C-alpha cells in the first residue's frame, strides 16, 4: 500500500483544460478485436495502465504480436495466436479475465487464467456457465478465477441464455468471441433476472465490432452475432469517459470550469451521460469544438437518479453528494457489489466515516448531507474509490486518501493531473488554460 495523501481544497475555482487519458474499456476491447482480425491494426491514444498492460502481456503470451510504436500508439497483429502452457496472469483486471476467457474458447488447447487475491473473489460463473452450455470444457472450482478453458479451436454457434443483471462484460466476451464462431450466435438475456445492466457498454462493444467489419445486432431481449472475419483497422481511442467523471465532478464541486477535450456527447462510452446528472445538480454543461466543459454552480442540488447503465460513476456522484443541498438517492446499482470490491458497501462506509447520514439497501443508497468531519479514506485497493473521494478533497478540508497508488489500475497520471489543477487554481485566482502543463 502506498503512502497516504492529504488532499488540499483548491484555493480558487479553477479554469482548466484536463486531458483525460484513453479509455480502458475501449483499449482492452480494441486489443482483443485486433487480435481476432486479419491483418495489422494500429491503435492510437491507447491507455497505459495496469489493466491494459495485463491485457497486452497476456495477448503476447498467446502469440499475438503487439508493437509499441510510441507509448500511446500500438500495432497489433493476431496472426498465429495460440494457447500457452504458462498461466495468464490478469492481476485484478476484470476486462482482461472475462474477455480472454471468451478468446480462449477459440484456441486449440488449454488456457489457464489466474489473478491476484482480489481477482480470486470476483465472480465469473455466469460466463463459465454460458460457455459450458456451448460445449466448451472449463474448470472453475470456485466460480471465480483461477479457471482453465479447454478450447478445441472453434466456438459453436447457436443460442445461449445468460442473466443480464450482474455484468455486461460477460456479454461483451461472448460477442467478441462470437465474431469467430462456427455459425450465427444469439445471446439471450434471461428474463427471470430483469434487463441487461450497463447496456451502453454492450452497445459500445457492438459499435467497435462494427468498426472492424463485424455484424452485431443489440436488442432488448437478445444480441445476435453474425460470424465475420474481422479486418485490421486504424482506430483512435477516445478519452476515458469514466475517468472524465472526476474532472467534471471537480468542476461541479468547486464552482470551477473544467474542459475535457476529445470527448463529446456522441462518444461510444455511455458514461459520458454522467454530465447529465451534473446538469440536474445545477451545473452547466457546454459542448463545443469536440470537447465537453462543466461549469460548476454556486450551490449543488441533491438528486434522485437511476445509475444502472453508468455504474462506474456511482462513486463519483456519491463522493460529492455531501456538498449538495438536500439528499442524493442513487438507485438500481446492485451490480457494483461485484466490482473490484463491494463498492456500494465500501462507499457507504467511507461516507459515514466522514460524518454523513447514509441509508443503503441491496441496490440503492441515499446520502443526506451532514457537516463533514476529517477522515482517512480506506480505498479497498479500488481505483475509483480513491479518485472519487480525492475529488471531494478538492472542495473540503481534511480528506486523506489512504492508498493513492491504486489509481494506477486505470489512471496512472491521476495525481499529476490533480497537481496541475491545483497549480492552475493558485495562478491568478485559477484563471488560466493549463493545457500546456497538463497531460499532452
Active site residues: 312
List the grid coordinates of 113: 487464467
Q: Which residues contact 85 (CB under 8 A, 6 or more apart)?
A: none
Spatial CA neighbour of 295 closest among 267, 332, 255, 331: 255
Spatial CA neighbour of 193 closest among 304, 360, 335: 335
Mapped onto helix, strand or coil, the DSSP state of residue 301 is strand
168-178 vs 94-104: helix crossing angle, rounded to 10: 30
List the grid coordinates of 86: 504458462
Whole-angstrom Cα Rg for the chain = 21
Gap between the Cα atoms of 248 and 310, Å rounded? 15
158 to each of 173, 184, 228, 417, 431, how far by Cα in Å?
Answer: 16, 6, 15, 48, 59
| Order of strands, sheet of 147-152, starting from the edge strand that comes earlier in the sequence | 88-89, 108-114, 147-152, 138-139
Backbone dihedral region for residue 213 (phi beyond 0: left; psi -120 to 50: alpha; all else: beta):
left
Q: Which residues contact 79 (CB under 8 A, 6 or more apart)?
A: 38, 65
Mapped onto helix, strand or coil, the DSSP state of residue 24 is helix
Mapped onto helix, strand or coil, the DSSP state of residue 205 is helix
Question: Is residue 155 a contact partner of residue 106, using CB atoms and an 8 Å limit?
Answer: yes
Which residue in this structure is represented by grid cell 493513492? 404
Q: Which residues contact 174 (CB under 8 A, 6 or more apart)?
A: 102, 127, 130, 131, 160, 162, 185, 187, 225
Question: Is residue 10 a contact partner of residue 420, using CB atoms and an 8 Å limit?
Answer: no
| Order of strands, sheet of 364-368, starting from the edge strand that comes earlier in the sequence | 304-306, 328-331, 364-368, 357-361
Question: Is residue 185 a contact partner of residue 160, using CB atoms and an 8 Å limit?
Answer: yes
Amino acid at each position: 500500500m502506498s503512502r497516504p495523501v492529504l488532499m488540499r481544497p483548491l484555493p480558487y475555482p479553477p479554469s482548466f483544460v484536463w486531458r483525460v487519458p484513453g479509455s480502458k474499456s475501449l483499449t482492452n476491447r480494441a486489443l482483443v478485436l485486433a487480435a481476432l482480425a486479419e491483418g495489422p491494426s494500429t491503435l492510437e491514444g491507447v491507455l497505459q495502465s495496469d489493466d491494459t498492460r495485463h491485457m497486452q502481456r497476456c495477448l503476447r503470451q498467446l502469440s499475438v504480436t503487439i508493437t509499441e510504436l510510441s507509448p500511446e500508439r500500438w500495432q497489433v497483429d493476431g496472426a498465429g495466436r495460440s494457447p500457452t502452457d504458462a498461466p495468464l496472469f490478469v492481476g485484478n483486471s476484470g476486462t482482461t479475465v472475462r474477455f480472454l476467457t471468451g478468446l480462449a474458447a477459440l484456441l486449440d488447447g488449454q488456457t489457464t487464467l489466474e489473478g491476484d487475491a482480489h481477482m480470486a473473489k470476483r465472480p465469473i460463473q455466469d460466463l463459465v456457465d454460458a460457455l459450458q452450455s456451448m460445449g466448451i470444457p472449463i474448470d472453475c472450482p470456485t466460480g471465480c478465477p483461477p479457471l482453465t478453458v479447454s478450447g478445441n479451436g472453434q466456438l459453436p454457434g447457436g443460442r445461449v441464455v445468460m442473466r443480464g443483471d450482474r455484468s455486461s462484460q460477460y456479454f461483451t466476451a461472448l460477442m467478441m468471441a462470437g465474431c469467430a464462431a462456427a455459425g450465427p450466435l444469439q445471446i439471450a438475456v434471461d428474463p427471470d433476472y430483469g434487463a441487461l445492466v450497463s447496456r451502453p457498454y454492450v452497445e459500445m462493444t457492438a459499435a467497435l465490432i462494427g468498426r472492424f467489419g463485424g455484424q452485431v445486432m443489440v436488442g432488448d431481449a437478445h444480441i445476435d452475432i453474425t460470424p465475420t472475419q474481422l479486418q485490421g483497422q486504424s482506430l483512435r481511442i477516445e478519452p476515458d469517459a469514466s475517468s472524465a467523471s472526476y474532472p467534471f465532478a471537480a468542476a461541479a464541486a468547486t464552482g470551477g470550469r473544467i474542459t475535457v477535450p476529445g470527448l463529446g456527447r456522441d462518444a461510444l462510452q455511455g458514461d459520458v451521460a454522467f454530465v447529465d446528472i451534473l446538469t440536474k445538480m445545477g451545473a452547466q454543461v457546454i459542448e463545443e469544438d469536440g470537447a465537453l466543459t462543466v461549469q460548476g454552480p454556486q450551490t449543488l442540488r441533491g438528486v434522485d437518479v437511476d445509475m444502472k447503465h453508468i455504474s462506474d460513476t456511482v462513486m463519483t456522484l456519491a463522493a460529492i453528494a455531501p456538498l449538495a443541498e438536500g439528499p442524493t438517492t442513487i438507485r438500481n446499482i446492485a451490480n457494483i457489489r461485484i466490482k473490484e470490491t463491494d463498492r456500494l458497501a465500501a462507499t457507504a462506509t467511507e461516507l459515514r466515516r466522514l460524518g454523513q447520514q447514509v441509508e443503503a439497501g441491496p441496490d440503492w443508497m441515499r446520502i443526506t448531507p451532514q457537516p463533514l468531519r476529517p477522515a482517512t479514506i480506506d480505498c479497498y485497493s479500488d481505483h475509483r474509490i480513491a479518485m472519487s473521494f480525492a475529488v471531494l478533497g478538492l472542495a473540503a478540508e481534511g480528506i486523506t486518501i489512504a492508498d493513492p497508488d491504486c489509481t494506477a489500475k486505470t489512471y496512472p497520471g491521476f495525481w499529476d493531473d490533480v497537481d496541475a489543477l491545483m497549480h492552475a487554481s493558485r495562478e491568478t485566482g485559477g484563471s488560466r488554460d493549463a493545457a500546456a502543463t497538463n497531460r499532452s
